[in-house]
Structure 1
Amino acid sequence: MQPTQNYDLVVIGSGAAGLAAALSFAEATAERPSPARVALLERSPESERGGATRWTGAFLRITEERKLDPDWPDHVKRVSGGLSDYDYCKTLEREVPATLKFIEEHGVELVFNEFPIAHTFDGGTARMTPPGNPKGGGAAIVSTLSAALDRHNNVDVYFETEAVRLATTDDGAVNGVVVRGNDGRLKLLGSQAVVLACGGFEGNPEMLTRYLGNQACDLPLIAPGIAYNRGDGIRMATEVGADTAGQFDMIHAEPVDRRTTSADAVLYGYIGGIFVNGKAERFFDEGKDTWDNTFELVGYEIWRHQNQEAYWIADAKTLAIPGIENALLSDVPPEQADSLSELARKLGLEPEAVEKTVAEFNAATGPGEFDHTRMDGKSTIGLVPPKSNWAVPLDTPPFIGIPLTAAICFTYGGVRTDVDARVVTPAGIPVPGLYAAGEITGLFYHEYPPATSVLRSLTFGRIAGSHAAAQLS
């Protein structure tokens, strides 16, 4: 097949990683006598550009000095049991300041708003340091970087276009992509380099079932954009000899309000309440750690062991936390009632079972003052499962509750890359001309220390684009 168009770089995917790669490459080559040509491919229509990035609030695990939480690389090492690529994590730490400068110079405004409950984004210690995020969330990143990219006349954006397979030279270098447009026909886009930035396999039920087993089909998507993440980048890369990394049978799932179809309707502010399943039985230690270190575990537990049905129950003490609404991201307010039995009926639970579970919990709560700003040590006594912190009796109306399910946010398993975002073989040798960035790249095992997905997508997308530009002949 002969190329119908020739480019210097083809980027597959228009989320944070893809936009950063295309824009950094376009800017790095802008002063050449003949500007390098870039193609950005996106499976979705233009109205849905941005993938998962567009829908996230995009918490950033950064300090106001524009640095990554210094504990994060070691945090990843601890929870992965040493399986994650530590050099990759340290590279992210080193490069975050440059990444934040990159997006701010293009017009993304970073804000540091107070959050109502403690987290460990600052040095691994539970505290109330305001987390960072772009004003306007991930949508602001997509719109701002897309506008900057659109100002480059040497960049072509193809919507409703699927990447089918990578083209290679006889000696194994990647030199293009076979694509299928909305006319259904195949064509070859020639290129000196390709960046895979098309997400994991969250939107592919077959792959989810292959790696996660039964019940994978019961996982709703946390946002519409990830429906386009079909695992094609992983498939195409492995077809040309790429290695994989990350835990393929693990996912980042989050507890979301099942009363709404709104994207990213996540429950973060649950520390003052309890979780129960469809039988009104507690199943999780809600105080084992701060919300940022447990919300993924709650989501996974709901999906894997609680038949995708759970409920959060709290009382007026949670409502009294200043700004708590900022940690309840659903567009539907919690159910509210003056009695537990009335709340149970609103949630669809058996009132007597709810009252029994809450009475047992209240009787087990120990002494001490409830303090949402730190790990307060207020725990239950003799209760299974325990509540290790914030174990305050649920005895003050109004009582509140939210019915929950688990939604998939991203998959762990993906393509293995080096610190220059180059895709590598099982021997660690870079595949010539092939890069990958974002959630297509495997990194995590066992747990995902959060608020870094957008950061690593932007950072390694930027690195991929800059490195590819430096290799141009």
Structure 2
Amino acid sequence: MTTAPASAPYDLIVVGFGAAGLSAALSFAEATLDWPRPSRIAILERSSREERGGATRWTGAFLRINQDRELDPDWPEHVSRVSGGLADLEYCRTVQRDTPQTLAFVERHGVEILFQDFPLPHTFDGGTPSMTPPASPRGGGASIVERLGAALDDDPRVDIRYRTEALHLTTGEDGAVDGVVVRGADGRTERLAGRTVVLACGGFEGNAEMLTRYVGDRACDLPLIAPGVAHNRGDALRMALELGADTAGQFDGIHAEPVDRRTRKADAVLYGFACGIFVNGRMQRFFDEGRDTWDNTFEHVGYEIWRNQDQEAYWIADAKTLAIPGIMNSLLSDVPPEQADTLEELADKLGVDAEALQKTVAEFNAAVGPGQFDPTRFDGKSTVGLTPPKSNWATPLDTPPFIGVPVTAAICFTYGGVRTDLDGRVVTPSGTAIPGLYAAGEATGLFYHAYPPATSVLRSLIFGRRAAHHAAGALRPA
């Protein structure tokens, strides 16, 4: 790597080293290989080199695709449905169109995409429950960070600045963005001149003040799902708003997931909960665990635990769940579930009221209706006369060993962010693009009411590339 002289403007300054930022920087580097002079690219990363990658580094990065690298065709309309029509449908359709070529880009750089069996059905394949093996990169999001990062490490046109905070965007007399004021590890500030800036530094999930302002009270009780999330401080939103940018997405909306609270392992998510029950700290059920497939409910469980259950819940199941082939692959904790031969012993291990747990389980067991239990599909095996009901996969918890996991809700990302057009350009409320300013990934707002999953990393990669290609075309020397 070489460092451009302070007096020479960068052609591109990327704020953030996650999927969106890496995609933008590397795509721009490739798009400018034929320039008559070497392009200059800077990447600003809040963390150290060892921790680089933000949230991307820690995610398993499910990809909502089929073997042909095509996006679930139902996804754009799914987003529109759950958002009540508020989400940008053309943005979602752009994600669908660009998925194959974007995945070809990361695969070309050594990211291997695997399709591995999962023990429970999902709706990643046409919107209907399916046991089709879901896709993810080998090694998760960390492989994206390391593979794309390695290509940038080796490029002499790229200057990567670690432990560097972006403070403000600067503009020329005509209002076009022309640089970034940054603070380095020594605490000193400087202005980096740049012909184009891409904001790719995540949402505001790592900023308790902004979470409280937008999401509401008790936001401080939300732990982060992974260490890299702490660097997502809302910098993109703050800096863009200073220039009059518009916003998109639900600002009091968050993507939260139920995680094992016994461990500090990142992304210790409990996906395989549909075949057991959830109880709160008072040992009362509070959620219909079988109302939909795990991918359409795990976020809602997480939000409910945080907002209404005082961040305390327990997942309880028995030997019938343990017998599901591969079920432990849906429990991402590094600590196995607590296990006991009786509910009383399990309650002791979990540190909860045994009598109350036994009462709740007895009421649940008595309400289980007829039918054949089948965890591979909506089996219609439900409870009768129970509130809340269990709409599918309701089977009595009566066969030892009994298992349990104490869970809490951890925040992954925020819904609200900067608004962009389909080229990734940041726009004002009138829809006018702010010259020289782009944004991609979770820094941009999209979702309302729910996040149809397995697309966060994908949309970050796609719009990082779109921003880079548009910027390269606009800046190409005559």
TM-score of the superposition, structure 2-length normalised?
0.98
- 1:114-137 deviation digits (Å, cap 9, x = unpaired): 100000000000010111000010
- Counterpart CA distance in 2 for 1:182 and 1:149 is 21
Q: In the superposition, relative to structure 1, how do residues 5 and 467 fare at CA in structure 2: closer, same or farther (>3 Å)?
A: same
Q: What is the RMSD computed on CA atoms of the aligned residues? A: 0.9
Are residue 258 (structure 1) and residue 261 (structure 2) matched? yes
Q: Which residue of 2 aligns with 1:166?
A: 169
Query: Structure 1 stretches of 5 or more lacking a match?
Result: none
- Counterpart CA distance in 2 for 1:124 and 1:274 is 25
1:240 counterpart letter in structure 2: L
Q: Which residue of 2 aligns with 1:366?
A: 369
Q: Which residue of 1 aligns with 2:94?
A: 91
Are residue 68 (structure 1) and residue 53 (structure 2) matched? no
Q: Which residue of 2 aligns with 1:180?
A: 183
Are residue 389 (structure 1) and residue 392 (structure 2) matched? yes
Q: Which residue of 1 aligns with 2:19?
A: 16
Structure 2 counterparts to residues 149-164 of structure 1, below 5 A: 149-164=152-167
Deviation at 1:186, TM superposition (A): 1.2
1:284 counterpart letter in structure 2: F
Q: Which residue of 2 aligns with 1:229?
A: 232
Deviation at 1:5, TM superposition (A): 4.4
Q: Which residue of 1 aligns with 2:135?
A: 132
Task: Name which of 290, 311, 318 aligns with 1:287.
Answer: 290
Q: Report the secondary structure of 1:48's partner residue.
A: coil
- Counterpart CA distance in 2 for 1:372 and 1:61 is 21
- 1:278-330 deviation digits (Å, cap 9, x = unpaired): 00000000000000000000000000000000000000011001011110000
- Counterpart CA distance in 2 for 1:374 and 1:191 is 53
**Identity rate of aligned residues, in percent?**
72
- Counterpart CA distance in 2 for 1:160 and 1:465 is 23
Q: Report the secondary structure of 1:213's partner residue.
A: coil
The answer (yes or no) to whether the contact 1:3–1:187 under 8 Å persists in 2 is no
- Counterpart CA distance in 2 for 1:370 and 1:462 is 45
Task: Name which of 410, 418, 422 aligns with 1:419.
Answer: 422
Deviation at 1:193, TM superposition (A): 0.5
- Counterpart CA distance in 2 for 1:372 and 1:29 is 51
Structure 2 counterparts to residues 103-142 of structure 1, below 5 A: 103-142=106-145
Are residue 244 (structure 1) and residue 247 (structure 2) matched? yes
Task: Name which of 213, 233, 239 aligns with 1:210.
Answer: 213
Are residue 334 (structure 1) and residue 332 (structure 2) matched? no
Q: Report the secondary structure of 1:46's partner residue.
A: coil
- Counterpart CA distance in 1 for 2:383 and 2:410 is 29
1:119 counterpart letter in structure 2: H
Deviation at 1:4, TM superposition (A): 4.5
The answer (yes or no) to whether the contact 1:5–1:188 under 8 Å persists in 2 is no
Q: Report the secondary structure of 2:258's partner residue.
A: strand
Deviation at 1:345, TM superposition (A): 1.1
Q: Which residue of 2 aligns with 1:6?
A: 9
- 1:349-379 deviation digits (Å, cap 9, x = unpaired): 1111011000000000011111111111101
1:344 counterpart letter in structure 2: A
Task: Name which of 35, 45, 56 aligns with 1:32.
Answer: 35
- Counterpart CA distance in 1 for 2:174 and 2:10 is 20
The answer (yes or no) to whether the contact 1:113–1:131 under 8 Å persists in 2 is yes
Deviation at 1:48, TM superposition (A): 0.5
- Counterpart CA distance in 1 for 2:152 and 2:473 is 19
- 1:234-283 deviation digits (Å, cap 9, x = unpaired): 01001111100000101000000000000000000011100000000000
Q: Report the secondary structure of 2:441's partner residue.
A: coil
Structure 1 stretch displaced more, 180-189 or 214-223: 180-189
- Counterpart CA distance in 1 for 2:50 and 2:473 is 33
Task: Name which of 343, 358, 361 aligns with 2:346.
Answer: 343
- Counterpart CA distance in 2 for 1:301 and 1:67 is 33
2:389 counterpart letter in structure 1: P
- Counterpart CA distance in 2 for 1:320 and 1:468 is 53
Q: Report the secondary structure of 1:6's partner residue.
A: coil
Deviation at 1:3, TM superposition (A): 5.7
Task: Name which of 427, 434, 438 aligns with 1:435.
Answer: 438
Q: Report the secondary structure of 2:50's partner residue.
A: helix
Q: Which residue of 1 aligns with 2:60?
A: 57
- Counterpart CA distance in 2 for 1:215 and 1:164 is 27
Q: Which residue of 2 aligns with 1:467?
A: 470
The answer (yes or no) to whether the contact 1:437–1:464 under 8 Å persists in 2 is yes
1:400 counterpart letter in structure 2: I
The answer (yes or no) to whether the contact 1:253–1:409 under 8 Å persists in 2 is yes
Query: Structure 2 stretches of 5 or more lacking a match?
Result: none
Structure 2 counterparts to residues 185-200 of structure 1, below 5 A: 185-200=188-203
Q: Which residue of 1 aligns with 2:447?
A: 444
2:302 counterpart letter in structure 1: G
After TM superposition, what 4+ stretches of structure 1 lie above 3 angstroms from structure 2? 2-5
Deviation at 1:183, TM superposition (A): 1.5
The answer (yes or no) to whether the contact 1:417–1:441 under 8 Å persists in 2 is yes
- Counterpart CA distance in 1 for 2:7 and 2:264 is 41
Q: Report the secondary structure of 1:7's partner residue.
A: coil
Deviation at 1:184, TM superposition (A): 1.2
- Counterpart CA distance in 1 for 2:339 and 2:417 is 42
2:321 counterpart letter in structure 1: T
- Counterpart CA distance in 2 for 1:332 and 1:3 is 50
Deviation at 1:185, TM superposition (A): 1.2
- 1:326-345 deviation digits (Å, cap 9, x = unpaired): 10000000000000111011
Q: Which residue of 2 aligns with 1:145?
A: 148
- Counterpart CA distance in 2 for 1:301 and 1:79 is 17
